[in-house]
Amino acid sequence: MPKAQERDGVYQRSDRPGWWVSYMDADGERVRRKVVASTRQQARDALRRFKTGEERVESLGVRPDSDITTKELMERFKKYQKTRVAASTYERLDGILETLHEHLPERAKDITRGKVNEYVDTRALTVKAGTVQKELFTLSKILRLAVDEWGLLNKNSAHGIKPPKQPEGRTRFLTPGELKAALEAAEPWMRAPMALAACTGCRRGELLKLRWMDVDLSKRLLTLRETKNNTTRILRIGDAAVQVFESLPQCGAGSLVFAGLDGQKLSVYCRRVFHKLGIMDASFHSLRHTMASWRVMEGEDLYLVGQILGHKTLRMTARYAHLSPEYMAKAAGTLDGIMGGVLGQGSEANRMLGTGTPPISEKAPKTASVSHLGVTRKSHRLVSRI
């Protein structure tokens, strides 16, 4: 290729006018191309853009990342979430966003996969795996919106990053004896919400936002309007729940059933009660698991239990499947019909299985060789080549 002496990756060809650049691409291949330039300095600027990727971004039509700060991006996400999640979920968002902002780079475009992995590893040393998982999920959602909805970034650096593994454990539920002991040990103001949580499976927030106009004792129905999933849920209640409601002072239709009750205080005091009784791994939320577990153990259909709990998918209810009295029996008997056809019944099965013991050989069986298989060396070599 006729060209003048190349200097700093920039040169002119003797057979064509204009300026050319030479550089190594990401695959290690030498690239030579003509650039729009009138002087050597302009050609050098073009070469710099190719090396840094700016020119390639423009040629591919990819938008550059914006200079929005991480704090500004999170403020925008907070406004986005305000009308899309339950009030209780929105209230907890401040703490998560504050933690993320504290550990991430100042500019959103500087949030790389390396930075996110470093964040996950650092947080996992000081908080529970479930907390890190929630924070990582929130960050991934923020970056996804910044890429897909708002056009501020080109990639979601948190997508696909694995959170720390949570320790395996069972879904804690109380036995009838444990629940009775807990209600007796609890302070009077705690007993009604604890008993209702165990009777209905309602979340703490759903109970504390329940109003008397949504309690129909004559039809035995509860209407839960403010739920975690922002969907109204209607529950049919039994005698025990009716008894609890009748023990409470009833106010106006628009009044809260548990007016003035602090949810955080309720959770803290519940843990203290369980801890005092030696039930170390239980909380107020365990009362919700108690209702679900008891119903499944009584033979209730998993799908129905999931509807009562307000689960979006059956996978969330599957944690109770092992408690079903028919679950293990069905699993054990699944292949009985097929194996019955294979083995037969009675004497036929005995004949098939045999009653003798395996023979004891003094010598180990001889390993098959090429000659034992009736294959000549010549044909063996042919097979090996194939």
Distance CA 280, CA 274 (A): 6
Hey, do 70-148 and 176-323 end up sharing a CATH topology, with the first three levels equal? no
* C-beta separation of 206 from 199 below 8 A: no
% of the chain with per-residue pLDDT over 70: 75
pLDDT exceeds cutoff 50 at 369 = no
pLDDT exceeds cutoff 70 at 85 = yes
Is residue 52 packed enough to be buried (19+ CB in 10 Å), middle (13-18) or exposed (0-12)?
exposed
Scored b (16 or more CB within 10 A) or e, 161-173 reads: eebbeeeeeeebb
pLDDT exceeds cutoff 50 at 66 = yes
% of the chain with per-residue pLDDT over 90: 44
pTM of the model: 0.56
Which amino acid type is present at position 108?
Answer: A
Least confident among 280-284, 295-299, 317-321, 364-368: 364-368
* C-beta separation of 372 from 380 below 8 A: no
Give the CATH number of domain 176-323: 1.10.443.10
- Indicate the pairing of strand 10-11 with strand 19-24: antiparallel
Confidence of residue 130 (pLDDT cuts 50, 70, 90): confident
- What is the distance between the terminal CA atoms of the chain, rounded to a whole angstrom? 47
DSSP assignment letter at 19: E
Computed over every residue of the chain, the mean pLDDT equals 81
pLDDT tens per residue, range 21-42: 887 765 567 778 888 888 888 8
pLDDT exceeds cutoff 90 at 232 = no
Q: Where are the domains of the chain?
A: 10-60, 70-148, 176-323
Q: Which residue has the tokens 């009750």?
A: 261
Scored b (16 or more CB within 10 A) or e, 322-336 reads: ebbeeeeeeeeeeee
Is residue 96 packed enough to be buried (19+ CB in 10 Å), middle (13-18) or exposed (0-12)?
middle
Domain 70-148 sits in CATH 1.10.150: yes
> Sign of torsion, CA 128 134 137 142?
negative
Per-residue pLDDT averaged across 347-355, rounded?
Answer: 61
Residue 148's SS3 state is helix
